[in-house]
Chains A and B, each alone.
Chain A
Amino acid sequence: MKRLNFMMATALAAGLIAGAAAAQEKVRIAFIDPLSGPFATTGTQGLSIYRHTIKELVNEPGALLDGQAEFEMVPFDNKISAKESLIQLQVAMDQGIRIIAQGASSGVASALTEAVAKHNRRNPDDPVIFLNHSAVDPALTNDKCQFWHFRFDANADIKMDALTDDIAANPEIKKVYVIGQDYSFGKAVASAAQRFLKEKRPDIEIVGNELHPIGKVKDFTPYARKIVGSGADAVITGNWGGDMVGLGKAVMGAGFDKPIYTYYGATSGITAAFGEEGDGIVKLVGAGQVNPAPSPDAQAFIESFYESFPDLDLGQPQMANVAPMLAAAINEVGNASDIKAIAYALEGMEHDGILTGKTVMRESDHQAIQTVTVQGQTPGVTFEYDKSGRGMNAQTIVEMASKDSATTCEMKRP
């Protein structure tokens, strides 16, 4: 059996090489995200979603330039460091890659968007395009917006808009506690929460609004005590990674059994860490949905993802839009080398997202407008996270969320 496997793989590999030799143009996309170190899971998961989307939605159906070309992801490990990202950006550009994808950490994204803008200003004939698949600091499409940056995830404000819709619809919530990490994203979440809650439910009292040092808190118990002591009916947090696990476990351990609204409270080991305790308590706001699958096509798409990557999760549904939308833009231009024309084609593009419904890349600030859902941790869903027997189930679905939201972006076009 093993031997057969080996032979099949060899045959497959030979087939692949032969296929590549059949003179198909490769359009390469540089994937610059952490692939080693503490955030490697995020990067690996993102890369697998890209690879799956490219295979299923672009390359196999021959959707790029009538099958004359194929996408290829080229991974670069930025170790979630701004400096390494800039080096990897250079390496990618040296290899002739002009399409850059990144998403983990808004800090890195803002370093990259600035570097890309600088490069394009200094080399106007040889521009680079930056596809941001998950860095959600609102500033990137507001004060720091620029023509070459496109954001495919819903930003922190848009997500908060949907999240507060869910809170507003729940009359039992009278007191809310907002807690986050002490940096730009945590602050953005906190101020958006205040703004939207005041607008939608002025009767809700914000009983706590605080920021804790990012990645430095060993034990969240004192915070949990404060939250329970404040008599809050719900918690809102933008925490991710270890800070999310620590906070969630401490809050639930202190006897809190009301909703905890999160931005990143699932997958990458988090769902498994919360386990049964988090069922019905942990909520997540995000673009698109996996459970229930929005359409039969989506169902098949997710199923085949889990067949190919049984150890990973399809945790960022909006990432499945990047490659198809890029392909559509390239098809419109007719070639993959005129980056400026591709960027113009992406502006204002409408797309039927496989997991995110109708999706529009807004022209004014390059922010994707798509379905945003509030999901709750539920046992026994079709597509579970972390192989833990539970996953996130969409509960409130907002189509074309915040499509008319204001932006401070003053886009300068070349």
Chain B
Amino acid sequence: MALFLVNVLDGFVTGLLLFMLCSGLTLIFSMMGVLNFAHASFYMLGAYFAYQISLVTGFWAGLLIAPLIVGVIGALVERYGLRRVHKYGHVPELIFTFGLALLIEETIQFFWGKSQLPFSEPAALDFAAFSIAGNAFPAYKVFMIAVAMGIFLTLLYILTKTRIGMTIQAALSYPETVQNLGHNVPLVFMCVFGVGTAMAGLAGVIAGPVLGVFPGMAVQLGSIVFVTIVIGGLGSLWGALVASLIIGWMQTFATAYNVTAEQVLTAMGFTKPELIWDHPLQDLWTLTLPQLGPILPYLLMIIVLVLRPQGLMGNRES
């Protein structure tokens, strides 16, 4: 039971971290119709910048400055890259972000090399907040939960209660009308892109000490981020939150419990062959739930897409 509680908390942290990435991505998608393949690369940039800044000023300055730099870079990419490609259509836009992801990864390796960087949590948070049955829960993770919740509430407030939020929502559905009303829609797009990437950068800063800072960190998260927003429904903030949490818990619980195919098959009345290592069905018998953990989100996405293409909470297809 104690372990169950720990896993609930861990899954919650994983889910919220995913949400910080997805919220920006889903906003950008709903505004511009672009699936930003480079989104996880901005997450990576955030982590690397924060590491570099932390060498000089310590963790906290990095936490503030790195997302700002990433946001500015994001805005510039929108202004001078994406907007240029926009006129060619959606596929070239997608391909542009795909190429950008490659380029950012290579550029990072150019400057910081290929090894993992020693980026660790600030000393002020380097203690166990509490522990459940011997399992320590680091204070840093409590901090992660607080930041992610803060972001979600702020976003929700801005999007639904403020004037800017209203404009953004309107520009989502009727860009021409909003433009005619005198709003600068391209500027709004640029700002949304900047804010979205800045949030990815912030996620990178926060996740860096836990998940590691290395050139493969974007690829590792890249496709799962898409899976999440597709499951949640493209463009839906609540959908992104729900899907992030589902995936966070799904992956945590799948790895936490060693259910094996052997147990399941035996319970179903099959008997395990004696010489399992030469048996054609050896893979079936030796399969375990933790092995399947990483592919569960993809399976879920395919099922959702086939049965409900607009996603769990989305209201339109693409």
> What residues make up the interface of A, taking CB atoms closer than 8 Å to B?
37-41, 182, 208, 210-213, 215-219, 221-223, 225-226, 228-229, 242, 245-246, 249, 253-255, 268-270, 272-273, 275, 386, 388
Contact = CB atoms under 8 A, between A and B. Distances in A.
Contacts of A273: 116-118, 212
A213 B291 contact: yes
Interface in B279-318: 288, 290-291, 293-294
Contact of A217 (B115, B133, B294): B294
B284 to A, nearest CB: 15
A268 B115 contact: yes
A216 B211 contact: no
B114 A211 contact: no
B221 A253 contact: no
Contacts of B116: 242, 245, 268-270, 272-273
Contact of A229 (B14, B135, B290): B135
Given A215-B216, A253-B210, A255-B128, 17 more contacts: A182-B291, A212-B290, A217-B294, A225-B3, A225-B6, A229-B3, A229-B135, A242-B212, A242-B214, A242-B216, A253-B138, A254-B136, A255-B134, A255-B136, A272-B117, A273-B116, A386-B118
B216 A269 contact: no
Contacts of B221: 218
Nearest to B133: A229
Given A38-B214, A228-B135, A219 B14 contact: yes
14 contacts: A38-B114, A39-B114, A41-B115, A213-B293, A213-B294, A225-B6, A226-B256, A226-B258, A245-B116, A245-B214, A254-B135, A255-B128, A269-B116, A275-B120
A249 B214 CA distance: 14
Contacts of A213: 291, 293-294
Contacts of A223: 255, 290
A2 to B, nearest CB: 23
Contacts of B114: 37-41
B54 interface: no
**Residue of B115, B253, B290 with most chain A CB atoms under a 10 A cut-off:** B115
A229 B291 CA distance: 19
Contact of A219 (B133, B138, B210): B210
B214 A212 contact: no
B286 to A, nearest CB: 9
A273 B114 CA distance: 14
Nearest to A213: B294
A242 B120 CA distance: 15
Contact of A216 (B113, B131, B256, B294): B294
Contacts of B133: 229
Nearest to A271: B118
Contacts of A242: 116, 212, 214, 216, 220
Nearest to B106: A36
A249 B126 CA distance: 13
A212 B255 CA distance: 9
B282 to A, nearest CB: 12
B149 to A, nearest CB: 19
Contacts of A208: 258
B128 A269 contact: no
Interface string B192-226: 00000000000000000011101110001100100
Given A245-B212, A273-B212, A225 B131 contact: no
A255 B126 CA distance: 12
Nearest to B118: A272
A413 B3 CA distance: 57
B120 A211 contact: no
Q: Which 4 A-B pairs have the closest CB atoms?
A: A255-B136, A269-B115, A222-B255, A269-B116
Interface string B137-155: 0100000000000000000
Nearest to A209: B258
Interface in B105-125: 113-118, 120
B7 A225 contact: yes
Contacts of B224: 218
B244 interface: no
A182 B286 CA distance: 11
Contacts of A210: 258, 288, 290
A179 to B, nearest CB: 10
Contacts of A270: 116
Contacts of A245: 116, 212, 214
A225 B116 CA distance: 24
B140 to A, nearest CB: 9
Contact of B118 (A41, A217, A219, A275): A275
A149 B128 CA distance: 50
A22 to B, nearest CB: 37
B10 interface: yes
A216 B297 CA distance: 13
**Residue of B3, B116, B293 with most chain A CB atoms under a 10 A cut-off:** B116
Nearest to B18: A218
A313 B218 CA distance: 27
Nearest to A39: B114
A222 B256 contact: yes
B214 A221 contact: no
B10 A221 contact: yes
Nearest to A37: B114
A228 B134 contact: yes
